Amino acid sequence: MARIALILFAILSSAALMAEILQSLEVRHEGRHYHLVSESYLSAPIEEVFKVLVDYEQFEKI
């Protein structure tokens, strides 16, 4: 549960770092797993957003 809270905090606080419009946020709990689905519009170059999303070595810090 702490990990979900951390992920939500990272998503919601990212608006302070870049212009973001959070359209929707859904969290589901199924057995031992949580599923988070978010739709956001970011005011950032697509190349920079892609680099962050595919930086798998740092992914656990999101």
For the stretch 30-61, pLDDT in tens is: 999 988 888 888 888 888 888 888 888 876 66
* Angle (nearest 5°) at CA 8 between 5 and 10: 110
Q: Where are the beta strands (DSSP E) in the chain?
A: 20-30, 33-42
Where does the pLDDT of residue 22 fall: very low under 50, low under 70, confident under 90, or very high at 90 and above?
confident
β-strand pairing of 20-30 with 33-42: antiparallel
pTM given for the model: 0.43
Does residue 7 register a pLDDT over 70? no
